[in-house]
């Protein structure tokens, strides 16, 4: 009889760490904090209609977007936990205009960029939402951290991942040697390995894009979308699936194969999604899973950021689908 074995995220990370004795444990502690934050947010999300956390906070964030109460709560939760451990010298968050410098952590090695709660327009309607993170090492320990340390290319990420608060809550991450998914077992409040070494199929039959903006898309995007709807591979027409929550759309396509597009529009000439804490972490994950991510010109992870909250168009998913889309552009 096959024996069920359980590997928790903490066990897995400490096993991984033992293969790399030079790793001092700071990264593991950051993961521990991210997990704890995720569990706290998960608890709130599960009771969202019962406690006073639905709706608008009554403020707009740096992007000029309406902040939801849960956006603000999630931001505070992660920042507080990470600051207490002192392993991040600073944190860049979608919810704050400026970099948050962690008190007493001037000598910490890591820089974290995050979207504490992505897809927040879905909160009030009980659709999946997520938290996204991307971790970098500072460029030098011998001099203070500058903008250059924060504005590194995606290629320099040491880890990235997301938590999806969906039908189940999952923690999915990479440190550059594969993508691993852990599902939260509510009864023991532990993330347990459920998806080892995730690989995205090279082809899929799903395309995910906000077609409400179709008339504003550049011609190459329109051609690709038309192709998905009329030709597809071997005349098999593709299915459209778009939740409007990047993590949910990404996660489905990662497991089933597919492509996600956020093209430039008149309103958002650089697309809507942010490079440092939305596109780069997703690009790292997809490449580690065997897929591709581009902005239509270059690989997402090759883009040299010049601004903290910089936006970029995003084309991400199964290798062959992204390559074809790229050709059509």
Which of 33, 44, 115, 287: binder of Mg ion (CB under 5 A)?
A: 115
Instruction: For the CB of residue 44, give the shortest distance to ligand AHM in the complex, in Å.
Output: 17
Instruction: For the CB of residue 183, give the shortest distance to ligand AHM in the complex, in Å.
Output: 21
Any contact of residue 118 with Mg ion (CB under 5 A)? yes
Any contact of residue 249 with Mg ion (CB under 5 A)? no
CA dihedral over 279, 283, 289, 292, signed as positive or negative = positive
Q: Which stretch binds Mg ion (CB under 5 A): 110-118, 186-194, 211-219, 298-306?
A: 110-118
Any contact of residue 287 with ligand AHM (CB under 6 A)? no
Instruction: For the CB of residue 139, give the shortest distance to ligand AHM in the complex, in Å.
Output: 27
The DSSP annotation for 27-88 comes to HHHHHHHHHHHHHHHHHHHHTTTTTTT-SEEEEE-TTSPEEEHHHHHHHHHHHHHHHHHT-E
Rounded distance between C-alpha atoms, residue 209 and residue 243, angstroms: 9
For residues 208 and 309, the answer to whether their CB atoms sit within 8 Å is no
Q: Scanning residues 243 to 272, which ones bind ligand AHM (CB under 6 A)?
A: 244-246, 272
Rounded distance between C-alpha atoms, residue 287 and residue 316, angstroms: 9
Rounded distance between C-alpha atoms, residue 141 and residue 58, angstroms: 40
Which of 28, 202, 210, 223: binder of ligand AHM (CB under 6 A)?
A: 210
Any contact of residue 74 with ligand AHM (CB under 6 A)? no
For the purposes of burial, counting CB atoms within 10 Å of the CB of 15, is it exposed (0-12), middle (13-18) or buried (19 or more)? exposed
Any contact of residue 312 with ligand AHM (CB under 6 A)? no
Residues making contact with ligand AHM (CB under 6 A): 65, 94, 115, 118-120, 210, 244-246, 272
Chain residues in the site for Mg ion (CB under 5 A): 115, 118
């Amino acid at each position: 009889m096959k024996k069920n074995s359980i590997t928790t995220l903490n066990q897995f990370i400490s096993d991984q760490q033992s293969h790399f004795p030079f790793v001092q444990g700071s990264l593991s502690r950051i993961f521990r904090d991210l997990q704890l934050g995720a569990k706290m947010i998960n608890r709130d999300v599960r009771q969202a209609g019962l406690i006073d956390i639905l709706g608008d906070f009554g403020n707009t964030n740096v992007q000029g977007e309406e902040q939801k109460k849960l956006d603000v709560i999630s931001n505070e939760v992660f920042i507080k936990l990470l600051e207490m451990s002192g392993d991040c010298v600073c944190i860049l968050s979608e919810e704050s205009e400026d970099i948050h410098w962690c008190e007493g952590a001037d000598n910490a090695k890591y820089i974290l960029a995050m979207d504490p709660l992505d897809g927040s327009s879905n909160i009030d309607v009980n659709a999946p939402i997520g938290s996204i993170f991307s971790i970098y090492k500072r460029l030098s320990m011998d001099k203070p951290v500058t903008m250059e340390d924060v504005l590194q290319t995606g290629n320099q990420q040491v880890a990235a991942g997301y938590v999806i608060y969906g039908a189940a809550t999952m923690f999915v991450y990479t440190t550059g040697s594969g993508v691993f998914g852990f599902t939260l077992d509510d009864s023991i409040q532990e993330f347990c390995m459920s998806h080892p070494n995730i690989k995205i199929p090279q082809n899929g039959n799903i395309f995910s894009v906000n077609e409400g903006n179709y008339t504003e898309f550049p011609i190459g995007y329109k051609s690709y979308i038309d192709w998905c709807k009329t030709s597809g591979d071997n005349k098999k027409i593709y299915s459209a699936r778009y939740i409007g929550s990047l993590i949910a759309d990404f996660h489905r396509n990662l497991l089933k194969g597919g492509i996600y597009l956020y093209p430039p529009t008149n309103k958002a000439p650089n697309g809507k999604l942010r490079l440092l804490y939305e596109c780069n972490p997703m690009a790292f994950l997809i490449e580690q899973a065997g897929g591709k991510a581009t902005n239509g010109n270059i690989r997402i992870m090759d883009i040299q950021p010049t601004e903290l909250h910089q936006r970029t168009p995003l084309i991400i998913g199964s290798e062959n689908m992204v390559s074809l889309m790229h050709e059509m552009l």
